Amino acid sequence: MRRTELLAVYLMSQLDQGLRKAPCISLAIDESTDSTDNAQLIVFVRYYDAGEKKFCQDLLGVTDLKGRARGEDIYGSLKSMLESRNIDVKSIISVTTDGAPAMVGRERRLFARLKEDNPDMISYHSIIHQSVLCASLGDEYFAAVHSKPFLVTDITEFSVEANLTWKWVDAAKIQLKLFDFQENVALKKVFCDCTPETFWSKEGSLANFLTLHRLAVQILTMFGSTYCCESAFSTVNLVKNNFRSCMTNEHLHHCLRLAITPLVPKFRELAKSKKCNFSH
């Protein structure tokens, strides 16, 4: 087994372990052509790791679209990728695309097909910043989750919008929790001293505000844009260049994963699991 393949498969297993424990995940999807004019689909995943108490983002996979980039082709390739990684479509809360007709068209397009599998899924296209995303979902989302949750004035409007977007949200319950949350002086001080991601993932006293925490995690899990996909395509063209144009899609996937993943292999663990072959 090639060392590249060995490391890539190991890193992919690490990612799969995190995804199995994630309460929710979001996808960023984009399609483009490589240096040999083959249509490639790149999918990134973002999720909350409850064990490590942090938000994680990584390459889910890259697959060849076999020369066709229709909505049905993209849907079929994405479904195959999800099934091979044992990811339930119902665990996906949002999908970010570049807004191309094959992605967001009404009939037989990618998102239309995904909505058949998961009616509660949210779809939007390439919003540059997550703060803009929160504002697009409702003016109060930006203030309540990503910026200054202690300055929300219309709590009733916020709770109603939250219920319309996420059916699991109890409007009356979240109103009471937000009132209590705003009265907590200690949490207000902590929030001013850290980023929203750090606050909502690592603050221990949030155990008393589980509904707000779940809502914040789902919003912060969403992708702000498809920039990660576009950046990955630049790496694809560096890896699969004119001198390596005959490489298989599987090898391309392995090379791309090693180039962009934030995960670090546990080399000692890998070394112990392999038997060394000494030459005579």
pLDDT in tens, 197-236: 888 887 656 777 888 888 888 888 888 788 888 888 888 8
CB atoms inside a 10 Å sphere around CB 206: 18
Per-residue pLDDT band for 237 (boundaries 50, 70, 90) equals confident
> At residue 257, does pLDDT exceed 70?
yes
Fold of the domain spanning 3-126+225-269: Nucleotidyltransferase; domain 5 (3.30.420)
The highest-confidence range among 75-79, 125-129, 142-146, 182-186, by mean pLDDT, is 75-79
More confident residue, 37 or 255: 255
Can you give the pLDDT at residue 58?
A: 94
What are the pLDDT digits (tens) for 43-71?
999 999 887 888 999 999 998 887 677 77
Can you give the pLDDT at residue 47?
A: 93
Give kind and range of the element (H or E) at residue 59: strand 54-64
Sign of CA dihedral 271, 50, 205, 139: positive
The predicted model gives 167-195 an average pLDDT of: 84
The structure's pTM equals: 0.83
- 223 contacts: CB under 8 Å, gap ≥ 6: 26, 27, 28, 44, 46, 94, 96
Per the prediction, the chain carries an average pLDDT of: 79
CA 183 to chain centre: 32
Per-residue pLDDT band for 164 (boundaries 50, 70, 90) equals confident
| SS3 label, residue 46 | strand
> At residue 94, does pLDDT exceed 50?
yes
Q: How far apart are CA 189 and CA 271, in angstroms?
A: 46
The predicted model gives 133-158 an average pLDDT of: 59
> At residue 258, does pLDDT exceed 70?
yes
The residues spanned by each domain of the chain are 3-126+225-269, 130-221
Are the beta carbons of 31 and 101 closer than 8 angstroms?
A: no
Identify the DSSP state of 91.
G
